[in-house]
């Protein structure tokens, strides 16, 4: 019996991979929130999250390239990597907002307190005046309120900024993972 390889729909693969990335990010978020709440915001945990995110992104990019035959141009790589990043970013952002509003309403309060505490400690270590610290903290509290209770337009702006950052990341990944066919490479069909 002859096996046939059905052509892969790379668009569906990039969307599926975006869901995988989002799922991993959400699991890490939940573990951090419930099992390691004291580690939230620490440089060790941020480094860990960055390494896990990079490892998953690299594995999924290599998998997509393999599924399209091992070769894809810069523009093909850019499109599909960005779609993967975009799907993941939108899902994680909306999940985080919904989590704070409907699942664990104490989450925004705890995060605001943690961020404010760490910022105040940092400003004191820089020997700032109490008046300037109070100004900085008032501004930060205002910004945190917008972050944890955004209006619809603030959600759109935040997603837009996040997508621009992910597009820059997709440009870097596409430059790394593009692979063009060698000159004279031809498929031999029987």
Element (H, E) at 97: helix 74-98
Nearest to 21 by CA among 122, 159, 129, 166: 166
Nearest to 32 by CA among 52, 14, 60: 52
Task: Give residue-wise pLDDT tens across range 35-84.
Answer: 888 777 778 888 988 999 999 999 999 999 999 988 999 999 999 999 99
Q: What percent of the chain has pLDDT over 90?
A: 51
Q: What is the pLDDT of residue 131?
A: 86
Report domain extents, the chain: 10-177
Least confident of 120-129, 150-159, 166-175: 120-129
Residue-wise over 139-163: b if at least 16 C-beta within 10 A, else e?
ebeeebeebbeeeeeeeeeebeebb
Task: Quote the DSSP letter at residue 102.
Answer: I
Question: 92 burial class (0-12, 13-18, 19+ CB within 10 angstroms)?
Answer: buried
Residue ranges of E strands in 4-55: none
In Å, how far are 43, 45, 127, 135, 150 from 117, measured between CA atoms?
A: 15, 18, 16, 14, 22
Contact status, residue 122 vs residue 41, Cβ threshold 8 Å: no
Contact status, residue 36 vs residue 105, Cβ threshold 8 Å: no
Contact status, residue 120 vs residue 95, Cβ threshold 8 Å: no
Cα 175 from chain centre: 19
Q: What is the pLDDT of residue 190?
A: 44
Asked whether residue 143 carries a pLDDT value surpassing 90, the answer given is: no
Q: Over range 16-38, report the average pLDDT.
A: 92
The pTM score is 0.82
Asked whether residue 87 carries a pLDDT value surpassing 70, the answer given is: yes
Q: Over range 146-173, report the average pLDDT.
A: 93
Contact status, residue 72 vs residue 37, Cβ threshold 8 Å: no
């Amino acid at each position: 019996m002859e096996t046939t390889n059905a052509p892969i729909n790379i668009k569906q693969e990039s969307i599926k991979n975006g869901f995988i990335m989002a799922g991993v990010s959400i699991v890490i978020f939940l573990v951090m929130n419930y099992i390691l709440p004291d580690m939230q915001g620490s440089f060790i945990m941020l480094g860990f999250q960055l390494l896990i995110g990079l490892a998953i992104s690299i594995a999924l990019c290599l998998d997509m390239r393999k599924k399209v035959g091992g070769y894809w141009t810069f523009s093909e790589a850019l499109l599909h990597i960005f779609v993967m990043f975009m799907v993941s970013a939108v899902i994680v952002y909306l999940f985080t907002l919904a989590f704070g509003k409907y699942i664990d309403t104490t989450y925004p309060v705890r995060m605001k307190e943690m961020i404010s505490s760490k910022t105040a400690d940092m400003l004191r270590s820089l020997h700032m005046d109490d008046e300037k610290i109070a100004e900085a903290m008032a501004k930060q509290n205002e910004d945190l309120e917008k972050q944890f209770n955004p209006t619809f337009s603030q959600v759109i702006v935040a997603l837009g900024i996040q997508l621009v950052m992910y597009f820059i990341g997709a440009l870097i990944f596409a430059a790394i993972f593009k692979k063009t066919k060698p000159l004279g490479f031809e498929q031999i069909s029987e």
